[in-house]
Each structure stands twice: as structure tokens, then as C-alpha cells.
Structure 1
């Protein structure tokens, strides 16, 4: 188990180290564990919590019981049960997955995948049961709970709406952007926001299907200490509560907004010039966890002060914070890296 420390915060990488090949027999595995100290000390909290080649996306169910990981090659998904600490199932797909949404109910679950060939694929507990296609290549989508609508954004100025109750596409939302990269829906009042290629965030009211706000994040991300060579586009978007929203740009800045103001509260620069891939909120410690392909930074959302940071060995593809991870100041993060899936347990020492 690898242990690192920054700002008096210890980070335990529980799944770091050498792993045994799957084709080895149990007898040979036990023999290697006796001889190799690194293998013997490796901790495997969740059985087979990895991908054969590259893992790209990860999601955690709202109740925290299931973890869904997406990888390639071959395009596949793996579902893990945290109650049983094991893999629940694995399925292979026809195309790579760009984004996914899954909802778990009492006795069954439903999963929706947006694939790179414009197909939207629906899965249930027994497997794949339906697929449809959107007009343009998609990049992200969100689920609107009150109306059962899926909102798709991509290489188009339109936001496509697919109603799951009626089983048909509804009238699209027409934005002023040439392309839309990411989107999110506020969990409190269900405001829909989409990040554009021009560096703006458009906010829409799903009830009236009218635009209610516009933020120019590209202009606000440029400060006196910022060096930019091109117009930043929006690469990440995340709501926090009813009033806060964090926006990540393609040039490595994270902007924290109060929806009542057009000016950001804090502008945080990762200093690497890489697109922000993920933004998460950790409420127990009032932290924002932002990640690009090289570093994960944890910083206070009120002051912007760095809490700690992590620079894994491989490029980071996605970061997902485990919900309601328990007592202060312990929380768990599931990090998807190139080649394998790593479980990091962060403990703050005071």
C-alpha cells in the first residue's frame, strides 16, 4: 500500500502495487504471494476492480451500492457491488461509451449509454433491450427526473430531448453556440445548464423551455496571472445545491459561481493548461475536487486554499466521489486511470 502526504494530509492508495495474472491457478497464486512481498501487501477491497486495457468513465449509484465502470478495448462495462465487494456483472458493447446515466430501483436498474457512433443504448437487469440514434454526434447528456427527459448535447447548436415516458423525441432547445460540450441539471430546482465551445454557459428552464441566463466564462477565466493562447471552451460543469455551480475550462481553470451573479466567486488555475475533466464537491470538508489528465486538486470552496493534491502515475480519465462517505474527515474517491482502476482512501489528520 502506497502512502503519500501533502499539507499534513495522508493519502492511502489501497490498490497500488503489483497484481497477479488471472490465468494463474490458485496454487501458483498462493506460492507467489509467499515469495513476493509487494503482492502479499497489496489490498484488494473490491474483487477485480480494474479494466483489461483502459478505463474511461465511472459512475456511482445514488445509494452508493453499485459502481459502474466503462472501458475499452473491447468496449465494455463492469458493475461492482460495494455491499458484496465483488463484481456483479460485465457486458461488452458494440461502440465506445462517451457518457452514461444509470438509475437503481428496488428490484431492478436501468442504464443509458451514449456511444461514439451517435447511438443511445438502454440496458436493464437482463441486458440490452433498446437503442436509438440522435441526429448529431453526442458529447454528454443528463436526465431530468420530473419530466423523464434525456437532454443530449454534442456537435450541434441544438439540445436534443428524448422523453422516456412517451418514447419519442421532443422539440429541441436552440442555443446560440456552434457546439455544446457538457451539460448538467441542478438537483434542487432542475435548472438545465450547457457548456459551449465558445466558453459560455447557457441556463435553461425545462418548464418553459426558455433560456434564463448566460455566463461568459471564457472572459472571466482570464486573470492577470493567466496565460491563454486561444479561446477557452467549457470542458466540465457541476452544480452544488441550489445556488452554486462550478465550471471547468479547456485551458485548466475552474470557476465557482453563485447563480445570482455573473462574476465568479473564485477562479482556480491548475497551472498545467490541460482541460478540466471532472469537478466534484465534498461537503463534509467544504472542498472542491477538480481534475485534469495530470493532477487532482482538492481546495476549499470559500478561500481557494489547497487542501491536498494527487499526481497519479497514469493519465486520469475520470474522477467520481463516493456519495455520503461517512464520518468527518474520511472520504473515499474512485479514480479511473489509464490501464486500471485505483481506489484511493483519503484521511485528513488534524
Structure 2
């Protein structure tokens, strides 16, 4: 375990330290633990929380019991049980996972979007069904009231797959040449998609009409910043009924009130790298944004930095365990990182901003 501090905030890296090779016998493992100080100090919060080479995506089930991770090589998904603190199962796939989502409260209903245009549906026993989308996909969202899956990718169309009827419905025609990311607001069902031209288009799933367009590329530029190309949308996340955060390919995070076309705050990561993940710590009004190099926690009202983390390897995804100060990262390395910020520090920060 390693402890770092920034802005008087202690961050505990629970996955730091050496790990024991799987091919060692139990006798050799016990011998190493007796004489190696680094191995004695290591903490295995989740046993075997790693991938053979690279981890790409992480999700936590809604009941909080399971953490699922996708990685390579070979393409696979691993499920970890937080009650037993160990791996529950592992499944290998035919292609690499671009993204996935857990539709049920536990791990019994999972949807995988693969890099070969296939969409796989998994149940508890394994793969249940697979189908193909017309163009290569990059992201998808599930609309629970209508049982529709919305797929965006290398096309101007947003494909709709209805899971109740088991067929494709009429797609949504956007003005973009390609769409990178999408999200659905759980409060009122608004569907938003981020385009390669740096715009966010919002649609009403009930009428299938576009209700608004945000030009995020124009809002992310400042007078003293050099622009080499048009920034595209690389991350998108709703926060409650009225707020939304948008990440750009040039490293800015724009926080919007949906009632205004101008962002409330523009936060620059200063590295010029695409924003890969945006999460929210709603109890403290914190935004957790990450590019491939750094994770920043900052206040969404003032933009003031709470703390930041720079892992040793490139970041692919960030996942927060709900109602805790713990977060997981998928990296360009076999080991997935686990960070913990004690709850007392969050309470101290809340008293400061109030």
C-alpha cells in the first residue's frame, strides 16, 4: 500500500506493491511472504484483481456486490464478488470489448459491444444471444422505459434495438458524420450523443425528435489557447435532471446546465489528451474526470481542485464504487488500480466549501 497527499488529502493506493506469480507453489509463496518486506505490506482487497495484459472497462452492479472488468489478451471479462473479495467467474470472448453495461441489479443480464460489430447478450450461464449492428459501434446506452438500446458509432445514424420485440426500430438521423459517445438521463429519459464535430445533440426518445444542440467545440476554446484542430466529444455524462458534463478530445471538461447553451465551468486538464471518463460524487458536488494520464477531482460549482491522482500506467477507464471513497481504474497494465480516500477527508472538504 502506498500513501500520497495533495491539498492535504491522503490517497491510499491499495493495489501498489509486488504481486505473487500464479505459477508459484504454495510453499514458495509462503517463503516469499516471510522474507520479502514489500510482499508482506501488500493489500489484496480483491483477490486476483488484474488481467493478463491490459484492462479496458470497469463497471459496478447496481446492488454493489459485483465488479466487472473487460480486458485482453485474450479478450475476456472477469466478475469479482465484493462480498467474498475474490473472482467469481471469467468468460472469454471472440473479440475485444469496446464497452459493456449491466442491465440487471446483479450480473445476470449484461450487454457487450465488440470491435467486430457484434453485440452479445449474456445471462448467468454465459452467452445468450448475439447480433450485429450495421456500422462499427463506439458506445451505447439503454433506455429502460422503452427497452431500447441506442448504438452510436461510425455513422450519422443512431441505431435502436428493442429488446422486448427483438428487432431493430427506425434509427435516429443526426447531423454528424460520426458519433463517439452517448448517454441517457435517468430522470427524464433525454438521450444525448457526442459527435466528431464537437457538438452534443439531445433527443426525446418519446417523439424521436431532436430537442437541442450544444456547440461544445466553440465553448471549449479560449482567447489565449492555440487550436490545432476541431475538438471532438470524447466523454459524456448526465448529473441529475438538469446537469451534464462533456469531455473533449483536447482535454477540456465542460459542465452544463441544460437550460443554457453556455457552460457553467470549463475545466482544462492541461495535458491536451482526450477525456476518457467522467464520474460524479454527488454527495460532495465533485466531478471526477480522467484522461490517459491523470484523474482530477474538482468542485463542479467553483472548479476548485480537491485532489488528483497520476497512476504509473495509462488510464483506460475509471469506475467509482457507490457511497464510498473508493475508485477503480482500468490501465494499460495487467494490474487494475484501487484508490481509497477516507470518508473523514470528504467530510472535512464538505465543511470547507460550505
Looking at structure 1, the residues matched to 283 and 330 of structure 2 have their Cα atoms a distance apart, in angstroms, of 23
Q: Which residue of 1 aligns with 2:103?
A: 103
Deviation at 1:206, TM superposition (A): 0.2
Q: Which residue of 2 aligns with 1:77?
A: 77
Deviation at 1:232, TM superposition (A): 0.2
Q: Which residue of 2 aligns with 1:174?
A: 173
Q: 1:346 aligns with which of 333, 341, 344?
A: 341
Looking at structure 1, the residues matched to 297 and 223 of structure 2 have their Cα atoms a distance apart, in angstroms, of 23
Q: Which residue of 2 aligns with 1:156?
A: 155
SS in 1 for 2:31: helix
Q: Which residue of 1 aligns with 2:13?
A: 13
Q: Which residue of 2 aligns with 1:328?
A: none
Contact 1:158 1:172 in 2 (8 A): yes
Give CA-to-partner distance per residue, 1:229-250, whole Å, 9 cap, x none: 1000000000000000000000
1:123-134 equivalences in 2 (<5 Å): 123-134=122-133
| 1:57 and 2:51 correspond | no
Deviation at 1:105, TM superposition (A): 4.3
SS in 2 for 1:104: coil
Deviation at 1:15, TM superposition (A): 1.0
Deviation at 1:83, TM superposition (A): 1.2
Q: Which residue of 1 aligns with 2:328?
A: 334
How many residues end up aligned between the 2 structures? 344
SS in 2 for 1:15: coil
* Compared CA separation, residues 42 and 62, structure 1 to 2 (3 A): same
SS in 1 for 2:101: strand
1:245-284 equivalences in 2 (<5 Å): 245-284=244-283
Looking at structure 2, the residues matched to 64 and 101 of structure 1 have their Cα atoms a distance apart, in angstroms, of 14
Contact 2:53 2:73 in 1 (8 A): yes
SS in 2 for 1:280: strand
Looking at structure 2, the residues matched to 14 and 34 of structure 1 have their Cα atoms a distance apart, in angstroms, of 20
Q: Which residue of 2 aligns with 1:66?
A: 66
Looking at structure 2, the residues matched to 161 and 305 of structure 1 have their Cα atoms a distance apart, in angstroms, of 39
SS in 1 for 2:283: coil
Contact 1:228 1:251 in 2 (8 A): no
Deviation at 1:285, TM superposition (A): 1.8
Give CA-to-partner distance per residue, 1:243-300, whole Å, 9 cap, x none: 0000000000000000000000000000000000000000122110000000000000
Looking at structure 2, the residues matched to 286 and 226 of structure 1 have their Cα atoms a distance apart, in angstroms, of 28
Contact 1:46 1:87 in 2 (8 A): yes
Looking at structure 1, the residues matched to 231 and 208 of structure 2 have their Cα atoms a distance apart, in angstroms, of 27
Looking at structure 1, the residues matched to 85 and 5 of structure 2 have their Cα atoms a distance apart, in angstroms, of 27
TM-score (norm 2): 0.96
Q: Which residue of 2 aligns with 1:298?
A: 297
Looking at structure 2, the residues matched to 104 and 166 of structure 1 have their Cα atoms a distance apart, in angstroms, of 18
Looking at structure 2, the residues matched to 103 and 172 of structure 1 have their Cα atoms a distance apart, in angstroms, of 22
Contact 2:62 2:105 in 1 (8 A): no
Looking at structure 1, the residues matched to 105 and 237 of structure 2 have their Cα atoms a distance apart, in angstroms, of 24
Aligned-pair Cα RMSD in Å: 1.0
Please list every run of at least 4 consecutive aligned residues from structure 1 whose deviation after the TM superposition is greater than 6 angstroms.
none
Which stretch shows the higher mean deviation, 331-340 or 273-282?
331-340
Contact 1:60 1:320 in 2 (8 A): yes
**Unaligned stretches of 5+ residues in structure 1:** 326-330
